[in-house]
Amino acid sequence: MTETVKYLLDEAHLPRFWYNINADLPEPLAPVLNPATKQPVTAEELEVIFPRGVIEQEISTEREIEVPEPVREVWRQWRPSPLYRARRLEQALQTPAKIFYKYEGVSPTGSHKANSAVAQAFYNKIEGVRRITTETGAGQWGSSLAFAGAVFGIEILVYMVKVSYQQKPYRRALMESFGAHCIASPSNTTASGRAILAEHPDSTGSLGIAISEAVELAAQNPDTKYALGSVLNHVLLHQTVIGLEAMKQLEMANAYPDLVIGCTGGGSNFAGLAFPFLGTQLRGGPKVRCIAVEPSACPSLTRGRFAYDFGDTAHLTPLCKMYTLGSGFVPPGFHAGGLRYHGMAPQVSHLTALGLIEARAYNQLECFAAGLQFARVEGIIPAPEATHAVRAAIHEAERCRETGEAKTILFNLSGHGHFDMQAYMDYLAGKLNDLDYAEEEVAMALAGLPAVA
């Protein structure tokens, strides 16, 4: 038995500024477009669904953006989150690599999502917003916004992908325990939902559909705004608190990562950990290999196209340039529900296209195996999403065993799996399969991409 080492930052070192990678990009991001005019969207257009504080962050190119004190106050309940040296895992793998992981499962809702939920609820609160709508897949984001709404006294309405609503009643119970209202999507509460149900009465929903419903409701009600849990610049910005803390904690450990690894659905937990390191590299600092890990059944970065696409199914959102499998693509029902999104954050996509981020895909069986291997030595059951990062970290540590290199590996353990035990039960019982997507479905969805000059 060897020591598990935990690096805890004093609260005084909780970051006061977020890091905005837009300040250091070698080429600027492609603008977000109004789908009707194909012109860049204006702040005024976005104000229909977002508070101004968030829109300013979305378009800012300032390197440092101040974290409001009330956000830091709520964060202090669980932040700075611990950084661990995975010594027992290293020993089990017989690797010369040093493996560190940042553990975001310590938040009240068990994942990194709470970081941005608190920030977004705050900006809505100071602008007098009464209600926020959102979508959720696996439920991590919905429960985080429900928590933040409870803290700031804002009503929360969550459109939950119907298959998750039915299969994950306990995530729903968590949202309802915090006082949020939860609706299975597609629903008959919106035109978008009714349109889907008219065509597919048995639809089990998708993130793309749930986003359409939440956006529609916000656009129609002046006292209601919409919040997104990933993909957009401001969400990734809020998550940089993860990497900024990790940098200071690695300093305590006298280490700097050769590899930074995170799982990617919309991209926010990966970006939150990786961008501060990548930014340091872009400003002339040490080079890091940043590895975005996606499920092989929804491989936007590794198999998608870098093109303008809608963020939702009903085409109510602006157009973003991103790696996408097509907004009409519905991924198969694998267990990492938080990674079932057709697109990828524009910033992550842009940096991948520039060759500054590597992407790779793993299937769910090898990820659950890695998750259990991790749990049995490190004691934490990873969320199915996070098992993708675990899988890649173990893979790289095994490579080090072969080459003898003592690399420093840092990965994001973005959440615990306490609400995902059915998936582990199914895996342990041999009931899980390696799902794959249908090539022809992606081809069809990509054929439907909007034409942008």
In the complex, the residues that contact a second copy under the rule CB under 8 A are 1, 3-6, 8, 10-11, 70, 73-74, 76-77, 84, 88, 106, 108-110, 147, 150-152, 169-170, 173-174, 176-179, 372, 375-377, 379-381, 418-419, 421-422, 424-425, 428
Please give the Cα distance from 79 to 76 (Å, whole number). Answer: 5
Residue number, 2 or 37, with CB nearest to a second copy: 2
What's the CA gap between 277 and 289, in Å, rounded? 10
Considering the complex, state which of residue 79 and residue 350 has its C-beta at the smaller distance from a second copy.
Answer: 79
Q: How far is the CB of 148 from a second copy (least distance, A)?
A: 9
Report residue 150 as tokens: 């409870």
Minimum Å distance from CB 60 to a second copy?
A: 25
Q: In the bound complex, what is the minimum distance in angstroms from residue 123's beta carbon to a second copy?
A: 14
Which residue, 176 or 398, has its beta carbon nearer to a second copy? 176
Neighbours of 91 (CB within 10 A): 12
- CA distances for 327 relative to 138, 147, 204, 311, 440, angstroms: 19, 29, 16, 7, 14
The whole-angstrom separation of Cα 116 and Cα 41 is 23
We find the least distance from the C-beta atom of residue 15 to a second copy, in angstroms, to be 16
Minimum CB distance to a second copy smaller for 298 or for 383: 383
109 or 300, CB closer to a second copy? 109
CA distance linking residue 263 with residue 37, whole number of Å:
34
β-bridge mates for residue 224, sequence order: 131
User: Which helix (DSSP H) or strand (DSSP E) does residue 449 occupy?
Assistant: none
Task: Please report how close the Cβ of residue 343 comes to a second copy at its closest, in angstroms.
Answer: 30
Q: Whole-number minimum distance, CB 48 to a second copy, in Å?
A: 27
Distance of CA 106 to the CA centre of its chain: 16
Instruction: Compute the distance between CA of residue 190 and CA of residue 255 in angstroms, rounded to an integer.
Output: 51
Residue nearer to a second copy on the CB measure, 80 or 266: 80
The sign one gets for the Cα dihedral 246, 251, 254, 260 is positive
Give 38 or 376: the residue with its C-beta nearer to a second copy: 376
Phi, psi of 89 (to 5 degrees): -70, -45
Closest separation between CB of residue 88 and a second copy, Å? 7
CA angle (142 as vertex; 425, 274 as ends), nearest 5: 85
CB 19 within 8 A of CB 240: yes
Identify which of residues 110 and 331 has a Cβ nearer to a second copy in the complex.
110
What secondary structure does DSSP assign to 403-418, as a single string? Answer: H----EEEEEE-BB-T
User: Nearest approach, Cβ of 41 to a second copy (angstroms)?
Assistant: 32
The minimum distance between CB 421 and a second copy, in angstroms, equals: 4
Q: Are strands 64-66 and 17-19 parallel, antiparallel or unpaired?
A: antiparallel
Question: Shortest gap between Cβ of 214 and a second copy (angstroms)?
Answer: 22
CB 101 within 8 A of CB 302: no
Instruction: Between 128 and 404, name the residue whose CB sits nearer to a second copy.
Output: 128
DSSP letter for each residue of 231-288: SSHHHHHHHHHHHHHHHHHHHHTT---SEEEEE-SSSHHHHHHHHHHHHHHHTT----
> Measured from the CB atom, is 381 or 409 closer to a second copy?
381
Report, in Å, the least distance between residue 14 CB and a second copy. Answer: 11
CB nearer to a second copy: give 152 or 341.
Answer: 152
